[in-house]
Amino acid sequence: MRSTRHSSAAMMAADVLRLLVDFLLIGIALLAAGAAFVWLWGFGTDLARVLAFPAAFVGLVLGFYVSVLLLRLAFLRRVRPGRYRLTDRAALRWIVWDSFMRMYHRHPLHRYIDDFGPVRYVFYRLLGAQVDSTFFFGWQAMVLDPWGLRVGRDVVIGSFAVISCHSVEGDTVVLEPVEIGDGATIGVRSLVLPGVQIGDGAIVGAGAVVTKGTRVPAGEVWAGVPARKIGMVRDAAVEEPEEAEA
């Protein structure tokens, strides 16, 4: 009974903290939008008043991404892998960052980042992800904890796939990085959980659930719920037949 009460109190505290961070992010964005609008409107000309509305929109967007950098400097560098109670200081830092990522995935413009390679690369690097510029991000794919993502070259993350570096278990959160080797493929609608290591050239099939702490060796094909090995990646090259003896 006591542990249940502690768990409920920790979850409530986490929800309150997330709400405060949401208000902070919205406030910074609205402040930037309002400043841009008032500045242009103050010129008093018809052109300035017409431009004030798109300027407010640009300010809203820039304000949102400035808040990203502020959170990056204040919290992200202090997020460390491990197992923490939700009331621990380390967990609270993660809660703040988790709140931001929820806001990001709800933001109407986030697809313009995820779908545009150069911007996506810079943005996720700013969020702490170790990614190569050659990785491909499918439609509506989600990385819940960029700070813990380690991705090699020529990696494909399929549409609607979800990669999570955290797992909440009662009043405890587990934070572990996810590593994906060169040339690996994460299939459509698959789920990759904390502590997973996927080797070079490996394939995780569509809809698979790779459970916490699983290691997928290089060159293997895994599928299912939970994911299991179902085969090996075959070389696509076709060998030429040997010449018949005269």
For the chain, the domains span 1-108, 109-232
Q: Phi and psi of 40, rounded to 5°?
A: -75, -40
Average pLDDT of the segment spanning 156-166: 93
Map tokens 């390679």 to a residue. Answer: 117
Average pLDDT of the segment spanning 69-73: 68
Q: Phi and psi of 205, rounded to 5°?
A: -65, 165
Contact of 166 with 98, CB cutoff 8 Å: yes
Could you please state the CATH topology (level 3) that the domain comprising 109-232 is classified under: UDP N-Acetylglucosamine Acyltransferase; domain 1 (2.160.10)
Average pLDDT of the segment spanning 101-111: 71
Q: Phi and psi of 173, rounded to 5°?
A: -120, 135
Residue 90 pLDDT: 78
Q: pLDDT, tens digit, for every residue of 181-240? A: 999 999 999 999 999 999 999 999 999 999 999 999 999 999 999 999 999 987 433 344
Distance CA 127, CA 69 (A): 8
Neighbours of 143 (CB within 10 A): 25
Q: Quick check: 153 pLDDT over 80? A: yes
Contact of 158 with 140, CB cutoff 8 Å: no
Map tokens 């929800």 to a residue. Answer: 15
Distance CA 119, CA 15 (A): 31
Q: Quick check: 96 pLDDT over 80? A: no
Question: Which helix or strand (DSSP H or E) is residue 214 part of?
Answer: none
Residue 18 CB burial class (10 angstroms; 0-12, 13-18, ≥19) = middle
Residue 77 pLDDT: 61
